[in-house]
Amino acid sequence: MAGRRLELVGLGYRHRLHDPQRFKPWNTRPGAGIHDITFSLPTGSIIGLIGANGAGKTTLMRVICGLYEPESGEARLDSETIAAAGMKPQGHAHVGFMPEQVSWPGPGTPRQVLKSLSTMRGDESEHDLDSLFKLVGLSSRSDSPLDSLSQGMRQRLSLAAALLGNPDILVLDEPLNALDPVAQIAFQGLIRQLAQRGHTILVSSHMLAELDRFVDRILVLHRGQVIGEGEMAEVQSALGLVDSMRFSGLGEAPIETFISAGLAVETSRDCEVGHWSLTVDLPRGFSQLQVTELISSLAKSGNPPYLAEKLNHNLAEILAAATGLSPSDVGLEVDDHLVIPLAKFGGEEE
């Protein structure tokens, strides 16, 4: 499959908020949105779009998929402009969209849903539908009533809908939501499989740990703007976030062993009596071989750990590092007045 390259240049969009006034009850004012988004998606890769609630993830995806008309900038697929200011919003044959948690109501079946969507696309091949159902694991339920589908099956149907017409670009909005852990793993495998087939996938989630397992790159959005882009480790490194590990064992905590290895140690308080648990910040460049040597020194000192795990930075930590705010503030602040830099819009925010 020859992939196409999606490129966004200075893309901007703001939602209109109802702001009734005495003699103008229909009045609106600009609210949250996205601002000056510029990036390109490498073909055949999985890009994780991360950000707190209200960061603009869904808005960005909807602009790309032709649901919102951008106010500035443009989205290009190779040399073709698929969304731009002044262009009527419309879906594109090479972009498949899976919105967040479609409930698929109604008396129909998954097959009828896909047939009607295929009709909209001008393609009604039955054979393609069967292979799609097989790909997303919905073959046995393709003719079941929609009402009888579980949330996981509905998510699979949404993915099948996004895959209609074999689009080069797949845009998946929170696909892991409402899935149990087993279904999440299956879904991650499926997304990885699709990337191997040549699809370029933009997937949003606020579940950073889950996303980290299958994305190639991440794009961090905050208040409608891109504040970091690249591989997870690159972004964390660029933001000055250090890797850390947790070690747990029995008996006395071997703090001296860690200190002698040149590591800063933080003792965990919520630890059972007779056990020890330490969190250690790893300096930049601390290799896997050094970790192995550390564990063997702990074993030689008579305190072998029964647990050694790498800790992932959560979204709040990444956002806090990128914005300079405290982790508690970045997660809770949803004031739409602060979404876009005031300087860019003059007095409009008054």
Partner 1 sequence: MSLSTRLSRIIRLVDIYGSQHLKSSRSLMLWPILLLFIVGSCWGLADPEISLPGEIQADTPFEVLFIASGFILLSATLGVVLIGFDGISRKRLSGVLSVELSQPIPRSDLGISMLLGVWGSVLIPTTLLSLVGMVAIHEQMGEWPELGDAILFLVATGMLLFWYASIQLLASSWAKDMGGAIAWGIGTWMMFTMVWVLVTVLVAGILGVEVGDTSDSQYQQLSVWVDLFSPNGVYQMLLESNLDGGLSRRIDSLFVWIAALLWSIIPTWLFLRRFERIQ
The answer to whether residue 104 forms part of the interface with partner 1 (CB under 8 A) is yes
Q: Interface with partner 1 by CB under 8 A: which range of 37-45, 59-67, 277-285, 327-335? A: 59-67
Q: Smallest distance from the beta carbon of 122 to partner 1, in angstroms?
A: 6
- Cβ density class 7-44: b for 16+ within 10 Å, e for less: bbbebbbbeeeeeeeeeeeeeeebebbbbbbebebebb
Name the residue among 230, 254, 244 with its Cα closest to residue 317: 244
Distance CA 172, CA 161 (A): 11
Mark residues 162-181: x for contact with partner 1 by CB under 8 A, - for none. Answer: ---x----------------
Residue of 2, 24, 86, 122 that binds partner 1 (CB under 8 A): 122
Q: Interface with partner 1 by CB under 8 A: which range of 86-94, 175-183, 206-214, 274-282? A: 86-94
The answer for residues whose C-beta is within 8 angstroms of residue 185's C-beta and 6 or more apart is: none
Residue with Cβ nearer partner 1 (159 or 183): 159
Residue with Cβ nearer partner 1 (34 or 95): 95
DSSP character string of 61-116: HHHHTTSS--SEEEEEETTEEEEETTSPP---TTEEEE-S-----SS--HHHHHHH
Q: Interface with partner 1 by CB under 8 A: which range of 27-35, 90-98, 125-133, 303-311? A: 90-98
Q: Interface with partner 1 by CB under 8 A: which range of 27-35, 105-113, 267-275, 281-289? A: 105-113
Helix (H) / strand (E) element for 174: namely none
Q: Is residue 84 a contact partner of residue 98, using CB atoms and an 8 Å limit?
A: no
Pairing, β 72-77 against β 225-230? unpaired
Residue with Cβ nearer partner 1 (65 or 220): 65
Helix (H) / strand (E) element for 191: namely helix 181-196
Distance CA 120, CA 98 (A): 16
Distance CA 281, CA 138 (A): 45
Residue of 116, 267, 292, 326 that binds partner 1 (CB under 8 A): 116
Q: Smallest distance from the beta carbon of 335 to partner 1, in angstroms?
A: 22
Q: Which two tokens stand for residue 74?
A: 């443009």
Q: Interface with partner 1 by CB under 8 A: which range of 72-80, 96-104, 230-238, 254-262? A: 96-104
Residue of 142, 158, 184, 204 that binds partner 1 (CB under 8 A): 158
Residue with Cβ nearer partner 1 (61 or 320): 61
Q: What are phi and psi of 265, to 5 degrees?
A: -120, 140
The answer to whether residue 341 forms part of the interface with partner 1 (CB under 8 A) is no
The answer to whether residue 103 forms part of the interface with partner 1 (CB under 8 A) is yes
Residue of 20, 42, 106, 283 that binds partner 1 (CB under 8 A): 106
List residues near partner 1 by CB under 8 A.
62, 65-69, 88-93, 95-97, 99-108, 112, 115-117, 119-122, 158, 161, 165
